[in-house]
Amino acid sequence: MTDERTQPVAVQFRFDGTALEAPSELTIAGGLVFNGILSWRTTRFAGMPRGLFCGIGTCFDCLVDVNDCVAVRACVTVLRDGDVIRTSCSTGGRDNA
């Protein structure tokens, strides 16, 4: 979902095995929402799906696993070409974008 303005070159990435494309200079959350994907984490007790919430890095609801890092904040982490992104169900880890 994006507006009408011209988007620059695309980056290619994978989410839970699916190949996706998004404009460059998006966050991981931006790239997933751009593709209509709204959830990429399950909560540790109830297993409920979660995605973007605060959008500014404070709520940690949008944690996602990227390449070899677990529990990265999708809303403040830049999406890079070739990123392999997985739904996060970890209970801890390093937010080391």
Partner 1 sequence: MRELVVVGAGPAGMAAADAASRRGVAVTLIDSASRLGGQIYRQPLCDPDGSGPSRPAGPALPARFRSLQNLHVEMMLGVSVWSASRGPNGFTLRLDAMSGGRDTTVDAQALVLATGASELVLPFPGWELPGISTAGAAQALLKSQHVLVGRRVLVAGSGPFLLPVAASLADSGAKIVAVVEACSPSQKIVKLAHVLRYPSKVAETLGYVQRLAIHRVPFLSSSALIRCEGNDRVQRAVVARLDRGWVPIPRSERFFEVDAACVSFGFVPRLELCRQLALEDSHDGVHPSASAVHGALMATSVPGVFVAGELTGVGGAVVAELEGRLAGHAAASYLGRAPGPVSKSECEKVSSKLRRASSFADLLDEIYALQPGWTTWPTDSTILCRCEDVAWGTIRRAIDTGTRTVQAVRGLTRCGMGYCQGRTCGPALAMAIAAFTGACLGDSGDLHSRPVAIPVPLHEVAKWSNPWEFEASVGNASHRRDELKS
Residues that bind partner 1 (CB under 8 A): 1-8, 23-27, 29-30, 33-34, 38-39, 43-46, 48-61, 63, 71, 75-76, 78, 80, 94-97
For β-strands 10-15 and 84-86, DSSP reports them as: parallel
- Interatomic CA distance for residues 10 and 51, integer angstroms: 22
CB 78 to partner 1: min, Å: 5
User: 38 pairs with which residues across the strands?
Assistant: none
Cβ-based nearer residue to partner 1, 6 or 19: 6
CB 79 to partner 1: min, Å: 9
Structure token pair of residue 10: 């695309």
